[in-house]
Chains A and B, each alone.
Chain A
Amino acid sequence: MDTSSPAAFVNGDLLRRYIGQKVRAVVQVIRSDIGSVVGKTTDDQQIVVKGSPPPSLTTYLEVIGIAESDNTIRADVWTNFGDNFDAGNYNELCKLANGEFRHMFI
């Protein structure tokens, strides 16, 4: 996988903009299975993250990977973000990073 290009910060809404592109998102783990994790994005939408999740998961999880559809990410990098996370702030970040200030990010 191409790891050099920057990953866009996405929430549920923004994911569809980047289908086929590298994205990153923080999700709240709802359910985890072998090979996938169902998570809630910071704007309360459900997506599926495919790949090999780490054995133990905290409440919040950041995934970086390619957006496969408007509700699926194939993730390569999984990072536990702990149990305390301000989803609201992250959401705002996503909006700003893709809106007004996208020139700063991509």
Chain B
Amino acid sequence: MGEILTGGVIEMLRKETVKNQEHMKPILQVTEMKKFTSHQEPSNERIRVLLSDGTAFIQGMLGVALNPLVNDGLLQTGSILRLDRFLCSDIQNKKIVVVTEVEVITTKADIIGNHVRARKASDQSGGESSNKSNATSGFEQHGRSDVTSTGGRQVNNTEIGTSYVGQQRPQLYGSGSGSSFEQSARSDLSGGHQINTGTSHAAIPPQQRPQVYGSGSSFEQNGRSGSNQINTGTSHAAIPPQQRQQVYGSGSSVAGSAPSARSYSNPPTTYPPQRQQQPPMYQNRGPVARNEAPPRIIPINALNPYSGRWTIKARVTSKGDLRRYNNPRGDGKVFSFDLLDADGGEIRAACFNAVADQFFEQIVVGNLYLISRGSLRPAQKKYNHLPNDYEITLNNESTIEQCYEEDAAIPKNLYNFRSIGDIESMETDSIIDVIGIVSSISPTVSIMRKTGTETQKRSLQLKDMSGRSVEVTMWGNLCNAEGQQLQSLCDSGEFPVLTVKGARISEFNGKAVSTIGSSQLFVEPDLVEAQKLKEWFAREGRSAPFISISRELTGGGRVDVRKTISQIKDEKLGTSEKPDWITVNATIIYMKVDNFYYTACPLMNGDRQCNKKVTDNGDGTWRCEKCDKCVDECDYRYILQLQLQDHTGLTWVTAFQEAGEEIMGMPAKDLYYVKHEHMDEEKFEGIIRKVAFTKYLFKLKVKEETYGDEPTVKATVVKVEKINYGSDTRTVLEAIDKLRTENASSDAGNSGIGTSGTRDPSSSLERNQADQYENQGQYMGGSYRGSGSYGGGLPRQHVGGY
């Protein structure tokens, strides 16, 4: 019955004599069939088939529309079909026939013809390797289920009836990792075409992937130029992203079209015109097999996880450090660098472990490189701020080759400058580039982080043509390198141009710009914009007035929250992650006299006084650890331990210099003199006594701290204010009001809980506070907004819903 099938057509398909139904509608038999569900589209079942023309096989994929035929049993193994609509494409160096329309000529039939190879290799799959074998019947599923950005489809590259060769070989090439499927973009792969293949997606962990080779072909998926989109319903390869063996039987049918029959052929990295001989660096790279024609360079913006073998030519715009890390999977090291090509495409490339070692020395910022064969995966937007959806992970197959000839088409750096005026309206935490004239810069200061580490910080004012100026803060090494450079320039009276690439907008009293780990600063860059800025500055910028968008003392928005002392404990203030800022109206009932001051370092550290405690050297000089200097005279600063009381309870607080002066009515130094130098006990006591029973409005910062093993809640006086009875009363009145409405809205007269009354007088509470106090930017009233359980004998109300 062989006449029924279109003999020899498979060969034609392979030779591309026949590509789709325009050429002919072959009659083939389904010799194998397999359903699978892609991870990506679990709702859609896809069916793979092995089609035979009597002598040869070819793999095929049924369009989703044909699923019912299979499910109804009309189309089954053995069925003879006429392909009414199909397309034969090259996927990963395999010919796959994607069938969208068929005519089932016979549903049940015996398998026609005798075929060269044994099929049904699946049974052997068991023992093959320690890896997960595809327990599929001769079908091998590859590629990831990600859809390419162009919506290209993936077709499972299936082996055509290959048997599993029962051996497993570790990677053929020295260094282990790397995807087993190279998707080498062919040279004629110009931007638009996507290879719809299962991908050798970068998500494949850079771990070993044993490649098993039979005598035959490699599993190289050389995507040919993807001029053909496979137009079936999306066929997603549901490939378990795990190790996979490539199994090749002998005489695999892959042979035909795939020019590079072996994978891991030496990746040609250069393009024809230049080199004739294999670049030396590939000598030690395993076999032999022929390369395909050297791939052309593709633009970075065309890279995607489904690009096969690709090559880009780009300049390194920044290079990260070699970082060591430790995660549940183990230790490792990584470094990454950013690339920019002639089309302005940017992408980050990362190397891990061995690969990192390999390339780290090689990469130099500013140099041009030809880079091929890495894997692509979605960019981690958190760390990667480049405008590319993907990032490259280089692996063992990757090659990096320096281009020694300059290419003026590729800029040194690509900026997307925003004017300072724009920054004001931009979102906090967004990453931007900015260029401006440095009008002033302050020396580096050392900041102690919460983690205990110290770091450098340096701030400067940047101005630009928008008439605005912004404070730019640089951290870490940038302070010393570029920071110093800028400082010297400014000191000598110049106003240098500075570009900042990849800095974050922060918000603190207005907007400011802050560098992050990957930011880059360039002083006096060679850019058109820089030129323009300089000219403008010389012309008008110098003398023009500037509006600073940083450090604006915005009024309003800071609300102080009134609490009673008992509420500190009752509501467990200070125990959450952030400190709580509250206001209490209380009286000082006691002050510890013993240590009301400490000896402080008077040296200026930036624009602030150091104020760290200095130690007595014994000879009249004092030593500051932080500044690492000795001074003859120390400063005296208050550190008062006070006990406060209000109608609800007692608490201890600590007040420092500013608050202390307000309370004591004199500078610490004077008080110190009274007691210690003049030894005037009486006067001293008189002063102390006067402090007792004075009532103030205290703004407190409450935070739980751990001393030894015990956590204690400590309160610090941030500000002390005399009571303004008028507004204070008003506050109380409003609180009363609120209580009243609360009580009205709940049933029982006592302890109204939660639901706020119809009127929400809390806002007026805040308003009143606002006019009383200037806002010093220290308040986060938000979380405690309008907690009106104040007075009225209802201490523990936790008022939600405000």
Give the total of A residues in contact with B, Cβ under 8 Å.
8
Distance in angstroms from B389 CB to nearest chain A CB is 62
Interchain CB contact under 8 A, A89 and B730: yes
A sample of 15 cross-chain residue pairs with beta-carbon separation below 8 angstroms, ordered by A number, consists of: A84-B726, A86-B725, A86-B726, A86-B729, A86-B730, A88-B730, A89-B726, A89-B729, A89-B730, A89-B733, A92-B729, A92-B733, A93-B729, A96-B736, A100-B740
Distance in angstroms from B77 CB to nearest chain A CB is 88
Residue in B closest to A95 when the chains form the complex, CB atoms? B733
> Can you list, as one digit per residue, whether each of A84-106 has a CB less than 8 Å from chain B (1) or not (0)?
10101100110010001000000
> Can you list, as one digit per residue, whether each of B722-766 has a CB less than 8 Å from chain A (1) or not (0)?
000110011001001000100000000000000000000000000
Distance in angstroms from A62 CB to nearest chain B CB is 15
Report the bound CA distance from A84 to B733 in whole Å.
19
> Can you list, as one digit per residue, whether each of A64-97 has a CB less than 8 Å from chain B (1) or not (0)?
0000000000000000000010101100110010
Distance in angstroms from B298 CB to nearest chain A CB is 76
Chain A interface secondary structure, helix, strand, loop or mixed? helix
Report the bound CA distance from A92 to B740 in whole Å.
14
Q: Write out the residue numbers on chain B whose beta carbons fall within 8 Å of the beta carbon of A92.
A: 729, 733
Give the total of B residues in contact with A, Cβ under 8 Å.
7
Report the bound CA distance from A49 to B726 in whole Å.
25
Beyond known contacts A86-B726, A93-B729: 13 more, CB 8 A cutoff: A84-B726, A86-B725, A86-B729, A86-B730, A88-B730, A89-B726, A89-B729, A89-B730, A89-B733, A92-B729, A92-B733, A96-B736, A100-B740
Q: Write out the residue numbers on chain A whose beta carbons fall within 8 Å of the beta carbon of B730.
A: 86, 88-89
Distance in angstroms from A26 CB to nearest chain B CB is 13
Report the bound CA distance from A100 to B740 in whole Å.
10
Chain B interface secondary structure, helix, strand, loop or mixed? helix
Report the bound CA distance from A72 to B154 in whole Å.
97
* A residues whose Cβ falls under 8 Å from a Cβ of B: 84, 86, 88-89, 92-93, 96, 100
Q: What are the 9 tightest A-B residue pairs by CB atom distance, in nearest-first order?
A: A86-B726, A89-B729, A92-B733, A89-B730, A89-B726, A86-B729, A89-B733, A96-B736, A86-B725
Residue in B closest to A100 when the chains form the complex, CB atoms? B740
Distance in angstroms from B748 CB to nearest chain A CB is 16
Report the bound CA distance from A92 to B725 in whole Å.
14
Q: Write out the residue numbers on chain A whose beta carbons fall within 8 Å of the beta carbon of B726.
A: 84, 86, 89
Q: Write out the residue numbers on chain A whose beta carbons fall within 8 Å of the beta carbon of B725.
A: 86
Report the bound CA distance from A49 to B739 in whole Å.
36
Report the bound CA distance from A88 to B764 in whole Å.
15
Residue in B closest to A89 when the chains form the complex, CB atoms? B729
Report the bound CA distance from A67 to B3 in whole Å.
126
Distance in angstroms from B467 CB to nearest chain A CB is 44
Q: Write out the residue numbers on chain B whose beta carbons fall within 8 Å of the beta carbon of A88.
A: 730
Q: Write out the residue numbers on chain B whose beta carbons fall within 8 Å of the beta carbon of A89.
A: 726, 729-730, 733
Q: Write out the residue numbers on chain B whose beta carbons fall within 8 Å of the beta carbon of A96.
A: 736
Residue in A closest to B725 when the chains form the complex, CB atoms? A86
Residue in A closest to B737 when the chains form the complex, CB atoms? A92
Q: Write out the residue numbers on chain B whose beta carbons fall within 8 Å of the beta carbon of A86.
A: 725-726, 729-730
Distance in angstroms from B559 CB to nearest chain A CB is 21
Distance in angstroms from A11 CB to nearest chain B CB is 15
Report the bound CA distance from A44 to B736 in whole Å.
24
Residue in A closest to B728 when the chains form the complex, CB atoms? A89
Distance in angstroms from A99 CB to nearest chain B CB is 10
Report the bound CA distance from A93 to B725 in whole Å.
13
Q: Write out the residue numbers on chain B whose beta carbons fall within 8 Å of the beta carbon of A93.
A: 729
Report the bound CA distance from A88 to B726 in whole Å.
9
Residue in A closest to B724 when the chains form the complex, CB atoms? A86
Report the bound CA distance from A69 to B730 in whole Å.
31
Residue in B closest to A90 when the chains form the complex, CB atoms? B729
Residue in B closest to A86 when the chains form the complex, CB atoms? B726
CB neighbors of A among B536-562 (8 A) = none
Residue in A closest to B730 when the chains form the complex, CB atoms? A89
Distance in angstroms from B226 CB to nearest chain A CB is 79
Report the bound CA distance from A27 to B726 in whole Å.
16
Q: Write out the residue numbers on chain A whose beta carbons fall within 8 Å of the beta carbon of B736.
A: 96
Report the bound CA distance from A92 to B729 in whole Å.
10
Report the bound CA distance from A100 to B729 in whole Å.
17
Report the bound CA distance from A92 to B728 in whole Å.
13
Distance in angstroms from B330 CB to nearest chain A CB is 69
Distance in angstroms from B192 CB to nearest chain A CB is 74
Residue in A closest to B736 when the chains form the complex, CB atoms? A96
Report the bound CA distance from A100 to B736 in whole Å.
11
Distance in angstroms from A38 CB to nearest chain B CB is 25
Report the bound CA distance from A42 to B658 in whole Å.
39
> Which residue, of A84, A92, A96, A100, has the highest number of chain B Cβ atoms within 10 A?
A92
Report the bound CA distance from A39 to B729 in whole Å.
23
Distance in angstroms from B761 CB to nearest chain A CB is 13
Distance in angstroms from A104 CB to nearest chain B CB is 11
Distance in angstroms from B736 CB to nearest chain A CB is 7
Report the bound CA distance from A89 to B725 in whole Å.
10
Report the bound CA distance from A90 to B725 in whole Å.
11
Q: Write out the residue numbers on chain A whose beta carbons fall within 8 Å of the beta carbon of B733.
A: 89, 92
Report the bound CA distance from A8 to B710 in whole Å.
52
Q: Write out the residue numbers on chain A whose beta carbons fall within 8 Å of the beta carbon of B740.
A: 100
> Can you list, as one digit per residue, whether each of B308-323 has a CB less than 8 Å from chain A (1) or not (0)?
0000000000000000
Residue in B closest to A96 when the chains form the complex, CB atoms? B736
Report the bound CA distance from A100 to B733 in whole Å.
13
Report the bound CA distance from A93 to B729 in whole Å.
9
Residue in A closest to B726 when the chains form the complex, CB atoms? A86
